[in-house]
Structure 1
Amino acid sequence: MSAAQRPPADEASSRRPLDTLPKAHLHLHFTGSMRHATLLELAEREGVRLPDALAHEWPPHLSAGDEKGWFRFQRLYDVARSVLRTEADVRRLVREAAEDDVRDGGRWLEIQVDPSGYGARFGGMTEFTDLVLDAVREASRATGLGMAVVIAANRTRHPLDARALARLAGQYAGRGVVGFGLSNDERRGVTADFARAFDIARRSGLALVPHGGELLGPESVSAVLDHLGADRIGHGVRAIDDPRVLDRVVAAGVALEVCPTSNVSLGVYGDLGSVPVPELMAAGATVALGADDPLLFGSRLAGQYATMRAAHDLDDATLAELARMSFRAARMPEDRRVEALAAVDAWLGDSAA
């Protein structure tokens, strides 16, 4: 959004509460959505000894600047995954993620999960996917939050595994699964090797939402555009480093799922003021703020808006536009989108908010 498109400052000078700003949440990982209190409770129940970084020093101090740093991050993630043992645990995680988003003003959530990480414990990938989708329907009914699932492959595993997951995702297209992603350390694997998996997902009509352009630079953004045909890019902030790549993102209308607190926690940027949200918006990019993994980064959806407001002195009109962009980029029913966009306008128009 250019400066010329923004409303005059006096139209949005008040600082409205961000937990009442309607938002869509497009970048939230399943295990990483767990509440810290829930992790502690389940770990105690199962006799799982948590690392100090998850027990006494939470949120953990993380960095992914090298393989050792990413290994530590992944180890903490794997420990958190290990405490989910029963169907009731899965349902609780999904319900609490929905409740947290509603508390933060969420109207729509696309939660991302890799069923292969849970299949062995829950009877297989199909059975686990059925469980998650049922939990999503249950949580949506209970909270009123619109919800859908993105199935994501792991780029540290063989591309054949990704194809199996793409076929699985395709079986559920139109039945709760709206997208197919590719996550984990983008420095691992060869992006082009996953092209066939994304072809499978594309033929099923799923949104293509791989990670890219966070730990690696703009060449990673180009790779997921060239080889995977990305509709949205998980993170994608490093597009700002190459004007040609950024121009390409803007021209294609590819949304960037920007997660400010995780960018700083993982060492992509030194501080929140360096996360280039205003620069991306000024260039015309679609930006949808996400929390990524609140369990590891300590901040949920409204916190992403709050950090960007504070770090960049964003006015309410700019924050409202961020919320609008999240709905425009979502794979949500059109009637819900229209209603949500009107609610954003109402938030901005309510000077008494």
Structure 2
Amino acid sequence: MDNPSVPRAAVERFIQDLPKVELHVHLEGSMRPPVFLRLAEKHGVPGLPRSPEEVAAYYEFRDFAHFIEIYIASVRVLRDEEDFALLTADVAERLAAQNVRYAELHISLYNHLVRGIPASVVFAGVEHGRREAERAHGIGLRWIPDFPGDYGVEAGERTLDAVLADGPPSVVGFGVGGMEVDRTPFRGVYDRARAAGLHSLPHAGETGGPQSVWTAVELLGAERIGHGIDSVKDPRLVDLLCERRIPLDVSPTSNVCTRAVADIVEHPLPRMLKTGLTVTLNSDDPPMFGTDLVNEYRTAHALGLDLADLALLAGNGVAASYLDAAAKRELTAEIESVLAAALDPR
């Protein structure tokens, strides 16, 4: 992590060439302004921005609670199967343009169910978009339906019921997000999800302190943690996460935009790597935060990470994903090859 001097152009080329996976990105939070505006106009949704400039102002968040408020308001533009297919195709195209080969996307399923949109409509739309994306761009997409924790256990149970009834085989896990309330009440719903073969992939340790990560690991059986940046505040927790090799899906720009971290220079990403934590790099809600995965790699480099560190983050993403073993080997070898070429002095 010495970050020796490397020409900016060489760093940029390396980041672009690096094969990537993304494990913490929200489908609805990846809606670009043109798609947002198109769907808002299509459905005549009131109270939303009507121009790119208004969208930019709309996405200036006061704090995490304000971000959640805007996020929930924004998903109202998604109404039918065609909308979800359009969004999925657009998101996949943007990911593929960044050399992202595979992504596991959170779907805010409860926010659609509570608006009267059946899970069958949501899944039919995203599956159509997924299949088209795989044909057009060769990118693999998988789904992590989730619910907002601040809506309570009933929201979790209703979301899981919908996933078990209508979820396609491309659903790999079950998530909880929203305001970071105590995760203890969700033990039962997570027991049921895991018994059904879904991986436990909760948000924790973003704004709720280390205890929320402890709860996610010990009671929810978390296999990966969404964010988890507060983990470094507890050495015992760091030891546990390292011992069990539980990955933390970190999104630096998101943490600054939601005020979970005051300034990017204060972000704990470098310290997390130094402690031996398994960290993956992600964009979370890229258009809302004015970023994308390529930019997150640039940000990580600016925080002092060298090319080997960036390759480590990419490799961690592959290892932490639910890709099959052969695909993991292939992508890992390609990451190593790109790094070797970048470090070759010839």
Length-normalised TM-score, structure 2: 0.90
1:131-170 map, 5 Å: 131-170=125-164
Which of 241, 258, 264 aligns to 1:272? It is 264
The one-letter code matched in structure 1 to 2:56 is: W
Deviation at 1:53, TM superposition (A): 10
Which of 68, 78, 82 aligns to 1:84? It is 78
Deviation at 1:227, TM superposition (A): 1.3
Length-normalised TM-score, structure 1: 0.88
Deviation at 1:128, TM superposition (A): 2.2
Does residue 194 (structure 1) correspond to residue 186 (structure 2)? The answer is yes
Does residue 21 (structure 1) correspond to residue 18 (structure 2)? The answer is yes
d(CA) in 2 for partners of 1:141, 1:10: 40
- The residue that corresponds to 1:115 in the other structure is 109
- CA 1:269–1:347 in structure 2 vs 1: closer, same or farther (change >3 Å)? same
Check the 8 A contact 2:153/2:185 in 1, yes or no. yes
Which of 284, 289, 296 aligns to 1:292? It is 284
Does residue 342 (structure 1) correspond to residue 326 (structure 2)? The answer is no
Does residue 211 (structure 1) correspond to residue 208 (structure 2)? The answer is no
Unaligned 5+ runs, structure 2? none
What CA deviation, in whole Å up to 9, does each residue of 1:172-231 have, x standing for no partner? Answer: 778101111111010x3x311101111112112222110010111111111111211110
| Corresponding residue SS for 2:262 | coil
Unaligned 5+ runs, structure 1? none
Which of 48, 51, 60 aligns to 1:50? It is 48
- CA 1:75–1:313 in structure 2 vs 1: closer, same or farther (change >3 Å)? same
Check the 8 A contact 1:272/1:308 in 2, yes or no. no
d(CA) in 2 for partners of 1:105, 1:279: 27
Check the 8 A contact 1:173/1:205 in 2, yes or no. no
- The residue that corresponds to 2:311 in the other structure is 320
- The residue that corresponds to 2:35 in the other structure is 38
Check the 8 A contact 1:19/1:103 in 2, yes or no. no
Further displaced range: 333-342 or 317-326? 333-342
- The residue that corresponds to 1:246 in the other structure is 238
| Corresponding residue SS for 1:248 | helix
Deviation at 1:263, TM superposition (A): 0.5
Considering only aligned residues, what root-mean-square deviation do their CA atoms show, in Å? 2.7
d(CA) in 2 for partners of 1:209, 1:198: 10
The one-letter code matched in structure 1 to 2:105 is: I
Check the 8 A contact 1:122/1:128 in 2, yes or no. no
The one-letter code matched in structure 2 to 1:22 is: P
Give the % identical residues. 31
Does residue 331 (structure 1) correspond to residue 314 (structure 2)? The answer is no
- CA 1:45–1:172 in structure 2 vs 1: closer, same or farther (change >3 Å)? closer
Deviation at 1:58, TM superposition (A): 1.2
d(CA) in 2 for partners of 1:202, 1:265: 32
- CA 1:62–1:316 in structure 2 vs 1: closer, same or farther (change >3 Å)? same
Deviation at 1:37, TM superposition (A): 2.0
Deviation at 1:86, TM superposition (A): 3.0
- CA 1:266–1:54 in structure 2 vs 1: closer, same or farther (change >3 Å)? farther
- CA 1:309–1:56 in structure 2 vs 1: closer, same or farther (change >3 Å)? same
